[in-house]
A and B are shown apart, each in its own frame.
Chain A
Amino acid sequence: MKSTQVALGVVLAITCMIGRVSGQAGPPKFEELRTPTSPAFTILGITPAQVEHPGTPSAFAVSFLNGIGAPGDEGDNFALETAPFWWVRHPKLTFEAYQNRGLKSLYQDLTVSFAVTDSAPAGREAPDGFRRMGIGVRVPLLTGTQRAPACVDTLVTRLANVRRPATAKWVDLINQPENRSRISVDSTLLDQLYEEAVAEVLGPDSVLISDESVAQCAAELRVRQGFVLDLAAGTGLHFEGARAENADFGSFGIWATPAYLTRHGGLAGVLRAQWQDLDLEESTTTYDAGLRGIRAMERWIISGEAIVRRLNGGDTGSNLVRISGIFDLEVTPKTWLTVTVGRDFNADERQSLLALVNFQWNLGNTKPERPANLIRQ
């Protein structure tokens, strides 16, 4: 522990010194270029506080019509994300079949996002009645391997083992002559008898498995490994005077995130092309290509990102580079040290190397969730 504390002191001293030398705003955000979960929100540059998730066609229609509002009305910002495949029931789609869905993910996992905002794009002023609408789709082209985590079998087995004696008691009850003659005419009797059996065998307030353990297992189930490829596209429309006849394309973007993910991290490429201000004479186009990597262990996490950007605006073009890295270390069981270093696209190239490289450090009490930033899981 003593050597760890000394090392911590040295790291803090160095990072404080370098932090004062640089005097810049801070390293770039690591996760900025991942394939967006909801392209419609990203293309509009908004982060909605509330997102609706309609689960049926009728719910989607109501949400959509409420969100888009009548032309000319003052409307609040609105955001919606939905997976159309799950609008209808799939009573014969088994757990195993879905885990091994392969290219069926093209339609089974496709999500659509939609957003409306009255805010202006960054750097522009919005006239009265200005409204923007974003529409996006996201599809995992390759889903990698989604092995069922051990918790699935554990929870199912635990549930069955605990419930089986109560079920056996219930079967005894429904086969008793006085009940058997009634179950075909009394639709509530099956439930009543089961509740009686559970109360007798397991106790009146029995909790078979906790909701927390199910939620935690659900999170584990979403983890992907192996080769994955996520694609997304989104477009933004402008409505002067919030009227449909004044619609104009404002922006368009496409994203691709090919990656190889392992249990302890992975390597991901990031590809993005985005066109902004398409309704103006001088629009801008941004092309990004980069690589990101993460290694996450029990007591430390190291992650890095390098991105090359081609920026075209009007008759000019420029090439920019961004590099960032994060190192997280568990100093004590309840303390994590995070050191970040980075050079953003807009760093001043006339300054010294130290001034170009920006260090920051932070202490937190929870383990950072860096792998979740590599690609949406």
Chain B
Amino acid sequence: MPSRFEKYTVTDDSSIVLDVLIGEAQPGGTTVFLGTNEIAHTEPGKSGMNVKGLDLGKGANLRGKLLAISTDVLDLRETDKASVTIVLHDGPVETNVTQSKDGSPFTSVNFLTVIEFI
């Protein structure tokens, strides 16, 4: 499965906001953990398939913690592409972390992303 580790520098007073977007027009779902606590998961038909505007808290409280994101994507399109983009907003600054995988038609793909706040 595709996986990625990134370090993300925070500022003490900024609120960090998270988006998780499943791309290539594919459906899927995401579970988000901060430290060892599950803080969000998507529910198709209710909250939708993407995480939008999840407030993670102030940078000072996040420093030293791990943000772990597990995203399942179903490859239901003929395009045969799957991807997930993690977007971190620190005030006006936006950081994107994208993972992608090709060549698995009509299967599911699990993307793992871990971000360490420093």
A171 CB contacts on chain B under 8 angstroms: 33, 36, 68
For window 37-93 of A, CB contacts with B under 8 Å fall at 55, 83, 86, 89-93
Q: Contact check, A211 vs B106: say whether CB atoms are below 8 A apart.
A: yes
**A163-B70, A190-B112 given as contacts; is B44 within 8 A of A91 (CB)?**
no
| A148 in the interface (beta carbon within 8 A) | yes
Looking at the assembled complex, report how far the CB atom of A154 sits from the nearest CB atom of chain B, in whole angstroms.
9
A122-176 contacts to B, CB under 8 A, are: 148, 152-153, 155-157, 159-160, 163-164, 167-168, 170-172, 174-175
Known: A93-B25, A194-B3. A160 touches B100 (CB 8 A): no
Q: How far is the CB of A377 from chain B (nearest CB, A)?
A: 12
Query: 6 A–B contact pairs at CB < 8 A?
Result: A90-B23, A156-B44, A183-B5, A214-B106, A214-B107, A218-B106
**Known: A163-B110, A184-B116. Is A157-B25 also a contact (CB below 8 A)?**
no
Taking the complex as formed, is B57 at the interface, i.e. its CB lies under 8 A from any CB of chain A?
A: no
Contacts A95-B27, A164-B41 known; 4 new A-B pairs at CB < 8 A: A99-B25, A160-B72, A175-B66, A221-B76
List the A side residues contacting B114 at CB < 8 Å: 174, 183, 190
Q: Looking at the complex, which one of A94, A164, A218 makes contact with B49 (CB distance below 8 Å)?
A: A94
Q: What separation, in Å, do the CA atoms of A208 and B85 have in the docked complex?
A: 23
Docked CA distance A129–B79 (Å):
37
Contact bitstring A190-206, B, C-beta under 8 A = 1, else 0: 11001000000000000
Closest to A213 in B: B106
Complex interface: chain B residues within 8 A of A157 (CB): 29, 43-44
Q: B74 is contacted by which of A94, A175, A191, A214 (Cβ under 8 Å)?
A: A214
In the assembly, what is the distance between CA of A349 and CA of B78, in Å? 47
Name the distance in Å between B44's Cβ and chain A's nearest Cβ.
Answer: 4
Whether A167 pairs with B31 at a CB distance below 8 angstroms is yes
Question: Is A91 within 8 A of B36, CB to CB?
Answer: no
Q: How far is the CA of A167 from the CA of B32 in the complex (A)?
A: 10
Nearest CB of chain A from residue B19's CB, rounded to whole Å: 10
Whose C-beta in chain B lies nearest to the C-beta of A214? B106
Assign chain B's interface to a size class. 35 or more
Q: Does A345 contact B (CB under 8 A)?
A: no
The chain B residue sitting closest to A155, CB to CB, is B74
Take A153-B44, A163-B72 as given contacts and tell me if A94 and B21 are in contact as well, using a CB distance cutoff of 8 Å. yes
Q: Cβ of A159 and Cβ of B23 under 8 Å apart? A: no
**Interface residue from B21, B41, B110 paired with A92 (Cβ < 8 Å):** B21
Which residue from chain B places its CB closest to the CB of A150 in the assembled complex? B45
Cβ contacts under 8 Å, B107 to chain A: 211, 214
Q: Which residues of chain B come closer than 8 Å to A175, judged between CB atoms?
A: 35-36, 66
* A353 interfacial contact with B, CB 8 Å: no
**Given A89-B100, A95-B26, A156-B28: A184 touches B5 (CB 8 Å cut-off):** yes
**Min C-beta distance of A106 to chain B, whole Å:** 16
Which of chain B's residues has its CB closest to A91's CB?
B23
B76 and A96 contact, CB distance less than 8 A: no
Residue of B nearest to A87 (CB): B79
Known contacts A91-B100, A208-B108; A156/B74 CB under 8 A? yes
**CB proximity of B12 to chain A, nearest CB, Å:** 22
Quick one: closest B residue to A187, CB to CB? Answer: B5
Check A91 against B98 for contact (C-beta < 8 Å).
yes
C-alpha gap A218/B116 in the complex (Å): 36
Complex Cα spacing A211 to B68, Å: 27
A289 within 8 Å of B (CB atoms): no
Interface contact A89-B27, CB-CB below 8 Å? no
Interface pair A86/B21, CB less than 8 Å apart: no
CB distance from A52 to the nearest CB of B (A): 14
| Identity of the chain A residue whose Cβ is nearest the Cβ of B81 in the assembled complex | A89
Q: In the complex, what distance in Å separates the CA atom of A83 from the CA atom of B98?
A: 23
Q: Given A55-B79, A211-B107, do A89 and B36 touch, yes or no (CB 8 Å)?
A: no
* Closest B residue to A85 using CB positions: B79
Any A CB within 8 A of the CB of B1 = yes
A-B residue pairs, 3 tightest by C-beta: A98-B25, A91-B23, A153-B44
Chain B residues lying within 8 Å of A184, measured Cβ to Cβ, are: 5, 7, 116
Q: Known: A163-B72, A164-B31. Is A191-B83 also a contact (CB below 8 A)? A: no
A152 and B108 contact, CB distance less than 8 A: no
Q: A98-B25, A174-B66, A174-B68 are in contact. Are A214 and B83 (CB under 8 A)?
A: no
Residues on the B chain within 8 Å of A155, using CB:
27, 74
Kindly state whether residue A209 has any CB partner on chain B within 8 Å. Answer: yes
CB distance from B99 to the nearest CB of A (A): 9
Known: A190-B114, A194-B1, A208-B108. A91 touches B85 (CB 8 A): yes
